[in-house]
Structure formats: C-alpha cells, structure tokens
Amino acid sequence: MKLSVKAKRMERHHKRYGKGGLNLVSLMDIFTILVFFLLVNSSNVEQLPSSKAITLPESKAERLPEETLLILINNDDLIVQGRKIASAEQIINSEDNVIPALKAELELQLQNRLGLTQDLEDTGEVTIMGDKEIPYKLLKRILYTLSASNYKNISLAVSKAAKDKPEGASTP
C-alpha cells in the first residue's frame, strides 16, 4: 500500500522531532500545591485560642476539646466569640445573678445555631476559658446566666499538665 503525501509528511515530521510528550512540570506543580493545601487544611486537632491575658488552671485530662461557643473571662473583661460583652467589674458590682448582656448574646448565638440545626431540643454547648485568678462570684454569675439561657453542656478550659515522670527517670 502506497502512503499519501500527507502520511509521508507526518512520518518525516515524527522521525525528525519525535512523538509529542506530556509536559509533567506543570502537572507536578499543581499536585504539589494541592498536597500542601490538603496538609494545611486537614489538621484534626482542635485547639482553643491562646490569650496572654488568661492563665488557665492545669488538668491531667486526656480528652481533646470540642469546638463550641467560647467565653473568655479574665479580671477585666467578659468576651464571647471574640466580642467584648461586659467588664468584670460591672458583673461583680451588679446585684442581679443574671448578666443581661451575656444572656442577650447567648440567645443570639443559640438562635444562629438553631437556624442551622432546627432541633429545638438541642441544648447549647459552651466552653469557658477563665483565668485561674478570677473571683468565684464572677464565675458563678456566668454559670447562672448560661443555665438560664438553655446552655446545659458547659466545659471549663484548662491547660494540660505535664505527666509525672516515673521514679528513677533521668532528664536528658
């Protein structure tokens, strides 16, 4: 069988320049970026935000914290999800056990969460990050306000204490 002019020309071209190949450089760049993106965004560790204004008490608990509504309290401010709600001095000097500004914020947060879940039986979950030096009266009023606002699952954030070394263990 005789080759056509076009077939002969294609044959000469393939002999001269070789067959077309796949450029892997750009493909490798894309996969590298994808791998880094997945590594950065797939961390499964739940970590509470750190604050220099708060010194947490220590605990030997092994369970990791869950992501919940976060209340930060120190000797100066009461902060819910990064927004200042009231000052600690106002709360302590108040005669009422319920903190009105905190109750309003908690109800707003609960409405936002119920808008997502539509479960009216669902009680709110909250984590309190309180400085270990705050007065008990302040913590008691926060807890009272939480229970009045249908937040029943309350966790107190603590720092994980170092494990005790076995006797006779040497330090490097």
Contact at 8 Å (CB) between 54 and 72? yes
Higher pLDDT, 143 or 46: 143
Query: Is 64 found in the same domain as 147?
Result: yes
| Confidence band for 118, pLDDT divided at 50, 70 and 90 | low
State the number of CA atoms in the 13 A half-sphere of 114 facing the CB.
14
Side-chain-facing half-sphere of 63: CA atoms under 13 Å: 6
Q: Is the pLDDT of residue 117 over 60?
A: no
Cα 42 to Cα 39, 45, 63, distances in angstroms: 6, 9, 20
Residue 78 has pLDDT above 80, yes or no: yes
Give this prediction's pTM: 0.56
The domain total for the chain is: 2
Q: Are residues 77 and 121 in the same domain?
A: yes
- Domain membership of residue 52 (yes or no) is no
Cα–Cα distances (Å) from 43 to 19, 37, 68, 72, in that order, read 44, 11, 17, 24
